[in-house]
Amino acid sequence: MRVFVPLSTGLWRRRVARQAVVRTTTQPQVDPYDYPQYGFSIVPEQGELIYLLCRSICAKRVVDFATSVGMSALYFAAAIRDNGGGTVIGSELVPAKIATAKSNLADAGLSGYVEIREGDARVTLSNLGGPVDFVLIDGWPVSQEPSLAREVIQVVAPQIRIGGYVLNDNAEPDFLEFIRDSTNGFISVNLPLKSGTELCVKVS
């Protein structure tokens, strides 16, 4: 039986140190292409939650938005591997970050579980090839609405299976408005991780 080793240690910690992974506050004037060397990623506790939940539902098809330099993809891919196989569908806009993510996944021996789609997630995630078990929405934060999070959830929501999870990292107000509207088929709870992490389950 394969045992999950937290990816925040060892290989990933060394890679992240070199990448100087940071998180900034919302800056609508900032272009993501201006920061190809930075990975605006989840924190390890969020990654461990992703791994745990994916294992608990035997996830086979998951979505990683935005992939950035691959930290969340590593946790997803480890869970998919330990579930016996499946696919992590990533989406990332910046080519340099895709290259770094692929390198990190290769170093961890997890490349075979991940497909990273380059481009605008509102397009690249429009067809996920079947019902989805888990979606991470952690895209570039902006102050104006609609946010990317709101637009992406509207694209992927119809493709998530009943009982599937959504994890949102930035708590964009219009994303929360959508996900907390019961007519959209979700229930959710805010978790005390990072600055606020919304965990959602599709129920109808």
The pLDDT tens digits for 164-192 are 999 999 999 999 999 999 999 999 999 99
Q: What structural domains does the chain harbor?
A: 11-202 (3.40.50.150)
Residue, of 110 and 8, whose pLDDT is higher? 110
pLDDT tier, 31 (very low <50, low <70, confident <90, very high otherwise)? low
pTM score, whole prediction: 0.87
The pLDDT tens digits for 147-158 are 999 999 999 999
Q: Which amino acid is at 180?
A: R
Q: What spatial distance separates the first Cα and last Cα of the chain, rounded to whole Å? A: 35
Is the pLDDT at 70 greater than 70? The verdict is yes
The CA distance from 80 to 62, in Å, is: 9
pLDDT tier, 115 (very low <50, low <70, confident <90, very high otherwise)? very high
H-type helices in 29-171, by residue range? 44-56, 71-82, 95-107, 121-124, 148-156
The CA distance from 81 to 112, in Å, is: 9
Q: Ramachandran region of residue 28, left (φ > 0), alpha (ψ -120 to 50) or beta?
A: alpha
Could you give the strand order of the β-sheet that contains 87-92, starting from the edge strand earlier in sequence?
A: 114-118, 87-92, 61-65, 132-137, 160-168, 197-202, 186-191
pLDDT at res. 18: 43
The total number of residues written for the chain in this structure: 204
Place of tokens 């993510």: 101
The CA distance from 98 to 58, in Å, is: 26
CB 104 within 8 A of CB 97: no
How many Cβ atoms from other residues are within 10 Å of residue 126's Cβ? 11
